[in-house]
Structure 1
Amino acid sequence: MRILHCLSQIPGKTGSGVYLQAIVREAAGSGFEQAVVCGLPETMPVNETDLAIEPENIFATRFDSNDLPFPVAGMSDVMPYPSTRFSSFDEHRLNLYKKAFSKILTAAVEKFSPDLIHSHHLWILTALCKELFPEIPLVTSVHGTELRQLQLAGHLADKIIEDVQTVEKALTLNHDQRQKVLATYNLSPEQVTVTGTGYRQDLFCSDFCNKEKIPTIIYAGKLSRAKGVLWLVKAFNNLNDNAQLWLAGSGDGPEADEIKTLAIANPRIKLLGALSQPELADRFKQAHIMALPSFYEGLPLVLLEALACNCRVVVTDLPGIRELVTREAVKDGLVNLIPTPPLSGPDILLPENEKTFLLHLEKALITQLENVKKQQFICCHSLQTTLNETGWQQVFRRIKIVYNEVLQKQD
């Protein structure tokens, strides 16, 4: 089987990019022939994408170039690298974007002749795949950020929803997201199936855990307000505790600068920068608590990665989280859920709600720090079952079933 994967941004730098790398790696292990279309800065070599395929089968649309004279357009408004917001797209910029990706897509299909296209996000690139190659079956992984962009870049929404109606299959991360996709995109129930997300079980595990002597909280992700990082730093600063906070990740622009400035002022907070998967696994094995006070998530596999490394968790009570981490883990206190605050739009915390959110976050951190000091060990059987079943090998097995179904229908 020949699969052409399509991602409109840089592989490996965000959740969808890690997902792409994992699926390519699993498919390569199953003997699939593969190529990838992705969006890269003009100066980034294709071999830096860490994709398990030959460089000649990576087709890059180049940003900050003559064809696209602006940074990579990101599916989140704050990316871990210089980026452009889709909300800033006028008709001219949109046409440049479509033209550049159409050129690369056409070259990839002509050279590689895929049996099937697997795109990421129900967004512009997926619509282009169907417009240019209606005869090639199209499977699309939903990551959740496209649902947010439908609100943030509302002037693009109607056309995108119309243009993705004929995708063969949309793959969602959980059942809640499936319901949102059905309601938002008006797809039929037969078009949308849950395949979930996964993590690297070879890296993220309890083997060789060496926890810090000082209680350690870690955050991993983009340094942005939407991820709740600013309030995590503020909450940590309010704690009267001999603990430390690690911030793993990067960001660009005033939001990241604000977070970094506040963090640097506290000697108990360490900025780790962007980490590779092996580096992040090592940090999780040293930390005691993983904090993710985000206002919007698709399905954060970073929670599974941390739990697999024997970290306790503090996370916002977002749709799909209880399903992911299991209700038993919440009941037993291994996972502490923070009430989701009222928001403006998909991910903006209203000033009048900041105080309450901060208090909830502080309380959750204090509770988990106390549990760490008690050296409590919890054996959560349902969580262990989830961890065993959510490796990338299992996720790809479900995706492979979809590939075969789609191709059989075409025959």
Structure 2
Amino acid sequence: MKILHILAQLPGQTGSGVYFQNLIQGLRMKGVLNGVIYANQSPFQYKLQAEYSNPVQFNSKELPFSIVGMSDVMPYPSSVYSQLTDNEIKLWQRAFTKRLNQAKEEFQPDIVICHHLWYLTALVLDLYPDIPVVGISHGTDIRQARRHPHLKQKYLGDMNRLSLIFSLSQENRKNLIKEFAINPEKIKVTGNGFNSEIFNLTKSLNSKKKSIELLFAGKITRSKGVFELVLAFQNVRKKFPQTNLFLIGNGEQTEINELKNIVAQKDIAGIHFLPAVNQLELAEWMKNSDVFILPSYYEGLATICLEAMACGLRLVVSELEPLKNFIKPEINQSGIIEYVPLPTIIDQDQAHEKDIPLFIHQLTQAISLQIERVLNGEIIDPSIFDKIHSYSWQQLINKQYIFLKKLLS
């Protein structure tokens, strides 16, 4: 079986980028021959385990602008779909069309897998009418379609041309049916997975900490709740002065500077800013931390929470329905994870100002509870980690591979 994998973003740095890499590696273990077409730009370099590779280079003569992100704020320099000029869209389409036609002749795939039900998936469906095309929704396609219905109308066409769609959650599936009028029978909820070879209970060799370490990893942007997190941490540190908070991630420099200014003006000690890291480095950070915090206002599934739990961390997470409903009840009720009720959400991923003080208060309480459990030496039931392992990439690939084989039978 030969599968061509398509992504209009970097094959890393974001959840969909990590998914892209893990899916290729997992299918390779099944004997699948993989080809890749993806977006790239300096200074990034990727060596993917694929038999065929034909990346599209941005910030180049061919495409003199940055990669176009599915989120308007990306953890690397990027362009915004809704702000592209007609000429930029034509250049973008021409560059991907060139690679797609080359792959059709040179790689001759049996199946094409395209990430995000947006511009590039529509283009793939136009160019590969006789080959099964599988779409993978990461949730940001739904958000783009809701914010920019005129772009959906102009560039997407009929998404029912897809042979199959892999969805992150039941909520994601319902939204795909509503937003894109897709036949429900084509949508398979397979979830997401973590790499258990990287994220596991194996102890770090660098563990020398004497304080309580809190960790956030993701885009440094308002929709991730990091501005509220630093204010909650200010409250937490009054009770637990031996606590540190590490914020790992990239974002727009203006937002990062604004957040750093708040920390400085309020003289909040113990907060450390670090740039985004790769999966191996992230696992090391997790294994050297005590509590992982994700106060985000919107996520497709928040796979990073699975990774953190697999490393043995306790979690504090905003009450994200896709994640809460995806995780087994036994895990949700074990104390390894504490959910914080979301404030009223406007424009899909922004908190209503009137609800922010309560959100900060509840976030403070949840973080304090998890710190107390760490300090008291409370043990997480070992059986919980067996259940968490069921969300590993190996299990996810097994499910997806069965569906892919059926497309060719």
TM-score by length of 2: 0.93
The residue that corresponds to 1:125 in the other structure is 120
Distance 2:87 2:378 in 1: 58
Look up the equivalent residue of 1:69 and give its one-letter code: P
Equivalent AA in structure 1 for residue 213 of structure 2: T
Any conservation in 2 of the 1:80–1:250 contact (CA below 8 Å)?
yes
* Residue aligning to 2:285: 283
1:373 aligns with 2:367: no
Of 180, 202, 209 in structure 2, the residue corresponding to residue 212 of structure 1 is 209
Measure the CA separation in 1 of the matches of 2:382 and 2:359: 28
Cα deviation, residue 267, structure 1? 4.0
Distance 2:184 2:159 in 1: 15
Give the root-mean-square deviation of aligned CA atoms: 1.8
The Cα shift of 1:187 comes to: 0.8
1:193 aligns with 2:195: no
Q: Report the Cα offset of residue 368 of structure 1.
A: 1.3
Q: 2:165 aligns with which of 166, 170, 180?
A: 170
2: distance between equivalents of 1:348 and 1:50?
36
Match of 1:320, SS? helix
The answer to whether the 8 A contact 1:341-1:349 is kept is yes
Q: Give the deviation of 1:151 after TM superposition.
A: 2.5
Q: Trace 1:346-385 onto structure 2 (pairs within 5 A).
A: 346-379=348-381, 381=383, 383-385=384-386
Residue 233 of structure 1 pairs with residue 235 of structure 2: no
Which has the higher mean CA deviation after the structures are superposed, 25-34 or 310-319?
25-34
Deviation at 1:272, TM superposition (A): 2.5
Contact 2:215 2:286 in 1 (8 A): yes
Change beyond 3 A, Cα 1:369–1:118: same
Output the CA distance in 2 between the equivalents of 1:81 and 1:30: 33
Tell me how far 1:342 sits from its aligned partner.
Answer: 1.0
Contact 1:86/1:153 (CA < 8 Å) preserved in 2? no
The one-letter code matched in structure 1 to 2:183 is S
How much does 1:211 deviate? 7.4
Q: Deviations over 1:50-84 (max 9, x none)?
A: 42125xx2211121123322111011111110011
Q: Give how far 1:263 is off.
A: 4.8
2:219 to 218, 222, 227: 222
Equivalent residues of 2:331, 2:387 under 8 A apart: no
Letter in 2 for 1:22: N
Match for 1:268: what amino acid? G
Structure 2 counterpart of 1:34 = 34
* Residue-by-residue CA offset, 1:163-202 (whole Å, 9 max, x unaligned): 3221000101122211211121111122100112111111
Counterpart pick for 1:64 among 41, 54, 59? 59
**Would the alpha carbon gap of residues 211 and 20 (structure 1) be closer, same or farther in structure 2, given more than 3 Å must change?**
farther
* Superposition deviation, residue 384 in structure 1: 2.9
- The residue type equivalent to 1:129 in the other structure is V
1:23 has 2:18 as partner? no
Name the SS of the counterpart of 2:321 in structure 1.
coil
Task: Trace 1:270-349 onto structure 2 (pairs within 5 A).
Answer: 270-349=272-351
The worse-fitting range, judged by mean Cα deviation, of 327-336 and 6-15 is 327-336
Q: Number of aligned pairs?
A: 402
Aligned match of 2:246: 246
List runs of 5+ in structure 2 lacking aligned partners: none
The aligned residue for residue 388 of structure 2 is 387
Amino acid at match of 1:49: Y
Change (3 A) 1:105 1:326: same
Percent identity reads: 34
- Seen in structure 2, the aligned counterparts of structure 1 residues 50 and 362 have a Cα distance that, compared at 3 Å, is farther
* Matches of 1:350 and 1:96, distance apart in 2: 39
Give the direction of change, closer, same or farther, for the CA distance of 1:263–1:279 in structure 2 (3 Å limit).
farther
Q: Distance in 2 between matches of 1:155 and 1:91?
A: 14
For 1:23 and 1:362, the matched residues in 2 are separated by 37
Give the 3-state SS of the residue equivalent to 1:78 in structure 2: coil
